[in-house]
């Protein structure tokens, strides 16, 4: 049988007036009826591969450069790099 001890639980209640208001995220998302027909580009990315590429470039922030057409490689480069390092990642369906 386990020895279960009673432990105090701390619950912190924060009022909105103490923290401020969050951005109205619904206001910044465009109202699109059909994403497939109204969006200019839609791509799929393997987030794990993008993360590994970002880590190998040694940067916390990266710039993605998209080329015309949905099946072309996406250039990934460190945001503040002047050494010319970059990698590519292929979009997935």
Q: pTM (2 decimals)?
A: 0.57
Model confidence over 19-53: pLDDT tens digits?
Answer: 666 667 677 676 766 656 666 667 888 999 999 99
Predicted pLDDT at 6: 73
Split at pLDDT 50, 70, 90, the class of 83 is confident
Would you tell me how many other CB atoms lie within 10 Å of the CB of residue 74?
Answer: 17
Report whether pLDDT(55) > 70. yes
Contacts of 92 (CB under 8 A, 6+ apart): 44, 45, 46
The domains of the chain are located at 16-89
DSSP-assigned letters across all residues of 4-69: PPP---------HHHH-PPP-HHHHS---S-HHHH-S---B--HHHHHHHHHHHT-S-EEEE--SS
């Amino acid at each position: 049988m386990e020895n279960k001890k009673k432990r105090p639980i701390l619950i912190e209640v924060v009022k909105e007036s103490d923290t401020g208001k969050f951005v109205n995220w619904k206001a910044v998302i465009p109202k699109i009826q059909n994403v497939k027909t109204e969006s200019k580009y839609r791509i799929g990315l393997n987030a794990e591969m993008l993360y590994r590429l970002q880590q190998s470039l040694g940067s916390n922030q990266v710039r993605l450069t998209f080329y015309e057409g949905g099946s072309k490689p996406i250039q990934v480069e460190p945001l503040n790099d002047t050494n010319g390092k970059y990698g590519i990642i292929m979009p997935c369906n």
